[in-house]
């Protein structure tokens, strides 16, 4: 029957997971039972990785050991750096460069011969991937600027180390904390397209490198991972227009333009992650330039109140504020989606590990709509 078809699998329950849960009506997101607000304000990205992979928050000793193991895996092979340099010279897109880097990591994996059902080995591989992605991304950006990569800093956490490798300077505490918080907010988010892609690949018992590479590929699509870049481009357009932000958004909406960063497939109220990043944006504004915070809040107030989008269940999502936050941290606009992948890799690894504990090959059905009973004609008679 036609009504059995669920395009995009919308509303179809295909798996169970203990990693994260979303209440779109209440605007609530939890990881392993902990609210995103508590995690973002009280933990580090390393703690959240441990939580997603092990099912519980680490003790101080466990966190120290886990963070040290991650730090030890940050170095990437010279061949990967050479590939990043060539791709930068070829003006490759950052997400495509990242996809290549993660696939190359596999060539230097010391446990390549591990049994696919050895989930402890899979977790160790996932740890190596998560640790190396920031190094490869930062190197790619440095090469694009005509500069040499910066070696990882052994005494910095994952978030601060990425900013250090990107700029060559240790970030301020505010910048490091802000970026760490952004990584926490993006680490997992239910069964989204890239997570589902990773799970499908994992269900075949392919290795975790394949699953993460697939996740990156899915995230690269503009319907999934690129909205924060779109938001920042709009903010820059407003800034360069010399119009008052309110006048600009009024004119844009009158012309029928859609403002990116509003609306979500799951949330019917303001994304809880957007609320947290709005706070960070305000904090960054207070210590520097308030322009971007002023523009975003003006747009939000106008669309939510004057245009009544809030009443229609269309509210700011995480991308609406993450774009300007990244910009204030000095991160290039086309690196926003790769940074999303850098964070979400932890979620992809966690979901693959969880699914493979009770694995079943994901194999949905499709309805054939092509012709029937075609008469075959040999090629010489066609």
**342: its two tokens:** 């850098």
Q: Quick check: is 319 catalytic?
A: yes
Determine contact, residues 233/241, Cβ cutoff 8 Å.
no
DSSP assignments along 1-65, one per residue? -GGG--GGGTT------SSEEEETTTTEEEETTEEHHHHHHH--HHHHHHHHHHSSPPPHHHHHH
Structure tokens at 233: 């481009």
Q: Is 224 a catalytic residue?
A: no
Helix, strand, or coil here: 28?
Answer: strand
The 8-class DSSP code of residue 262 comes to: B
Single out the residue of 73, 97, 99, 101 nearest to residue 87, CA to CA.
97
CA distance 274 to 260: 13
Token digits of residue 253:
């909406």
CA atoms within 13 A on the CB side of 330: 17
Looking at the DSSP bridge assignments, the partners of residue 196 are none
Half-sphere exposure of 52 (CA within 13 A, CB side): 36
Q: Which of 207, 264, 271, 351 is catalytic?
A: 264
The CA distance from 355 to 265, in Å, is 24
Burial of residue 57, with CB atoms counted within 10 A of its CB: 0-12 exposed, 13-18 middle, 19 or more buried? middle
Catalytic residue among 175, 180, 319, 351: 319
Q: Which residues are catalytic?
A: 264, 319
């Amino acid at each position: 029957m036609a009504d059995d078809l669920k395009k995009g699998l919308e509303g179809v329950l295909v798996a169970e997971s203990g990693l994260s849960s979303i209440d779109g009506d209440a605007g609530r997101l939890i990881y392993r039972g902990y609210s995103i607000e508590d995690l973002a304000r009280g933990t580090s990205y390393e703690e959240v990785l441990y939580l997603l992979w092990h099912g519980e928050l680490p003790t101080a000793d466990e966190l120290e050991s886990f963070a040290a193991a991650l730090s030890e895996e940050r170095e990437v092979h010279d061949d990967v750096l050479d590939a990043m340099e060539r791709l930068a010279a070829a003006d490759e897109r950052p997400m495509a460069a990242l996809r290549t880097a993660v696939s190359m990591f596999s060539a230097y994996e010391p446990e390549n011969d591990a049994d696919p059902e050895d989930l402890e080995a899979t977790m160790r591989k996932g740890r190596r991937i998560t640790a190396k992605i920031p190094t490869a991304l930062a190197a790619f950006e440095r090469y694009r600027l005509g500069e040499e990569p910066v070696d990882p800093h052994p005494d910095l956490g994952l978030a601060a180390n990425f900013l250090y490798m990107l700029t060559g300077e240790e970030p301020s505490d505010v910048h490091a904390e802000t970026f760490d918080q952004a990584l926490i907010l993006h680490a997992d988010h239910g069964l989204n397209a890239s997570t589902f892609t990773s799970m499908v690949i994992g269900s075949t018992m392919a290795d975790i490198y394949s699953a993460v590479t697939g996740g990156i590929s899915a995230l690269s699509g503009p319907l999934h991972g690129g909205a924060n870049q779109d938001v920042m481009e709009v903010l820059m357009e407003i800034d360069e227009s010399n119009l008052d932000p309110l006048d600009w958004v009024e004119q844009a909406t009158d012309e029928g333009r859609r403002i990116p960063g509003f609306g979500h497939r799951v949330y019917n109220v303001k994304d809880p992650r957007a609320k947290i990043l709005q706070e960070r944006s305000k904090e960054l504004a207070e210590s520097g330039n308030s322009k971007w915070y002023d523009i975003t809040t003006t747009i939000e107030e106008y669309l939510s109140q004057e245009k009544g989008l809030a009443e229609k269940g269309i509210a700011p999502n995480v991308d609406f504020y993450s774009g300007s936050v990244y910009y204030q941290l000095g991160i290039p606009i086309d690196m926003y989606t790769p940074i999303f992948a850098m964070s979400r890799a932890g979620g992809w690894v966690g979901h693959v590990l969880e699914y493979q504990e009770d694995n079943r090959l994901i194999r949905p059905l499709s309805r054939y709509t092509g012709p029937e009973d075609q008469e075959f004609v040999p090629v010489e008679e066609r």
